[in-house]
Amino acid sequence: MTASVFEQVRNVASDIFGIPADKITAESSPETIENWDSMQHLNLVLAVEEKFGVQLDPEDIEQMKNIGAVAKLVEKLQSATR
Amino acid sequence: MAIVIQPYRPEHEPAVAEFNQRLRQAGADENMTFYRHAQPRWLPRTAESRIYNEFFVAIDGGIVRGGYALKSQEFLFPDERIRSIGYYHHPLSEGIVNKAHAIVGTLLLRDAMQRAPLLYCLGMGGYNNPLPQMLVRMGWAHCLVPFFFRVVNPSRFLRNIQALRASRARRFLMDLAAYSGAGWLGSKLFHHYRALGAPSSPAVESHEVASFDTDDIARSVQSLWEQARQTCSFAAVRDAEALRILYPPAQTHLTRIVLKRDGTPIGWAVVGERRSDSKYGDMRVASIVDCFALPGELFSVVRSATETLERQGFDLVLSNQNHQAWGAAFKAAGYLPGPSNFIFAASKKLAELLAPFDEVRPRMLLTRADGDGLPANF
């Protein structure tokens, strides 16, 4: 996972969950972020799609179990479209 | 383990029972349970069925984490084509009690959108609930389906309607109106005033039928559908075959009414007693679940359906009607518009076919029958 993509995902998550980016790590998940409920998960999916210009299938969404996994997924999808 | 969404099969039933038990143990509302049986009791899919329900479950290593139901049904579109579309209902995710499964709600909805890109939701209990909020956030087109009610028994209405009896002062005034007869008098005056402005129409023959399936009735409703479908921009197909499937004779709690004038069919309605609901106290509440009519005959159908329910002794009659002509007919028949929490939402792909949505919306025929209300939840 590149630092650049991780940083961008972290900033997206910071906006959605309303917590400082420096409090978000690759391991941050619904179990460690209080605001990460079903609604905010959808918001995260939509924000990632918009920010990175990717389309997430249910199989992709299923992998979004923590912030690090989201960043890895974005990298994978971006490299697949190049 | 990866979460996989797949058709609900009998071998999943024990895992669904455990899922329901986990929700209950975690304090979820008692209505929050997924279907116990894999085979839908309402509209099961058969080789020849045009209207059917299917269930899907989200499975994580053998453990069920959620599920949803998808009804497939043919609809008439503004371009006059008939398409089969999906109705997403009863989604349930373990995310409501355990944030570790927050992902499931999004997965269920995205899965349904893949299986049925022309997808809609109906009802949902108002915009404060999570599902409509999700749909709005995803850019679905949406609107409220207007709600209408007619008070038949003012005294019982005043003593039972919980939404209006919110304070001690209100309860006192409403009880006073109920017991003094002021409520009865006010209601009489209102209906008398409304009747003065109501359309005058020659008498119609109202026939209560046990089924839409007999040859004569089937021909009548088929003819009505073919003659009046052009009055709708968007509507579930309500031909003879659809009515046979939606309102089978076994549903004896429903009353099917066919209206004729001089022997010619002019419309039909399906009415029934609503399930008990604490917000209506111990009133007997009925619903005009569904109706259809020739142009110019809507008022006659609403009036006849209402009279049928009044004869059956109901205190209050409710209906949700989106089509503006039906809304006008209900108002003319003495119904009042009330606050609606009954939302119609269309996926982006469905909304593309309903564009421009604001222009198409007033002639979309949407009633309780298009939701998950049948056979008993209307």
| CATH code of residue B31 | 3.40.630
Q: ipTM of this complex > 0.90?
A: no
Closest in A29, A46, A58 to B114, CB measured: A58
The 3-state DSSP class for residue A1 equals coil
**CATH code of the domain containing A66:** 1.10.1200.10
Run of H or E residues at B137: helix B130-137
**Hey, are the CB atoms on A45 and B106 less than 8 Å from each other?**
yes
The Cα-based distances of B73 to B123, B187, B343, B378 in angstroms read 17, 40, 19, 18
Closest residue of chain B to A40, computed from CA coordinates:
B102
Chain A with chain B: Cβ pairs closer than 8 A: 63
Are B224 and B314 part of one and the same domain? yes
Q: How far apart are CA B351 and CA B119, in angstroms?
A: 9
Structural domain range at position B229: 147-370
- CA distances to A42, B112, B270 from B115, rounded to whole Å, are 19, 5, 31
With a cut of 80, say whether residue B186 has pLDDT above it. no
On the question of pLDDT at B377 being above 70, the answer is no
pTM over 0.90: no
Percent of chain B clearing pLDDT 90 (strictly above)? 76
As a whole number of angstroms, the distance between CA A5 and CA B145 comes to: 44
> What's the pLDDT score for residue B64?
98
Rounded distance, CA B205 to CA B257, Å? 10
- The structural domain count of chain B equals 2
pLDDT of residue B12: 98
CATH of the domain at B255: 3.40.630.30
Give domain status of residue B128, yes or no: no
What's the gap in Å between the CA of A29 and the closest CA on chain B? 8
Q: Say if residues B15 and B59 touch (Cβ distance below 8 Å).
A: yes
Those residues whose C-beta lies under 8 Å from the C-beta of residue B159, and which sit 6 or more positions away, are: B174, B175, B178, B281
Tens of pLDDT along B277-291?
788 888 999 999 999
pLDDT reported for residue B279: 83
Q: To the nearest whole angstrom, how far is the Cα of A22 from the nearest Cα of chain B?
A: 22
pLDDT class of B373 with cuts at 50, 70, 90 = low
Q: Find chain B residues with C-beta within 8 A of A57's C-beta.
A: 110, 114
Task: Determine which of B37-51, B178-192, B237-251, B363-377 has the lowest per-residue pLDDT on average.
Answer: B178-192
Residues of B whose CB is below 8 A from A64: 103
